Structure 1
Amino acid sequence: MLFWTLTIALALAVALYLARAYMRGRGTDAPAAAYDLRVFRDQLAEIDRDLARGVLAPEDAERARTEVSRRIIEADRQVGASPARAAGPGPYVVAVFGALVLAGSFFVYQQLGAPGYDDLPLARRVAMSEELYGSRLPQAEAEKTAALNMAPMPPADPRMGELMDKLRSAVAARPNDTEGLELLARNEAAVGNYRAAWEAQRRLIALKGVAATGEDHAALAELMILAAGGVVSPEAEAVLARALEMDPRNGSARYFLGLMLAQAGRPDRTFNVWRGLLEEGPEDAPWMPPIRASIGELAWLAGEEGYQPPSAASRGPSESDMQAAAEMSPEDRDAMIRGMVEGLNARLAGEGGTSDDWARLIGALGVLGETERAAAIWSEAEDIFAASPDDLEKVAAAARAAGVLQ
Structure 2
Amino acid sequence: MLFWIIVAILTAAVAVFLLKPLMRPGREGDAARTGEAAVYKDQLREIDRDLAGGLIGEVEADNARAEIGRRLIAVSATGAADGRRASGATLRKIAAGIVIVVLPATGLCLYLLTGSPGTPDQPLAARLENPGNNLDLLVAKAERHLAENPNDGKGWDILAPIYYRGGRLGDAELAYRNAIRFLGVNAERATGLGETIMAGNQGIVTEDARLAFEEAARREPKSPRPRFYLALAMEQAGRRDEAKAAFEALEKDSPADAPWLPLLREHIAKNSSDGPPVASAPGNPTEADVKAAEGMTSGDRQEMIRGMVASLDARLKEDPNNFEGWMRLVRSYAVLGEKDKAVAALKVALTTFPADGTEGRQLVAMAKQAGLDVEGAMK
TM-score norm. by structure 2 comes to 0.34
Instruction: Select the structure with the greater relative contact order (CA < 8 A; seq sep ≥ 6).
Output: 2
TM-score norm. by structure 1 comes to 0.32
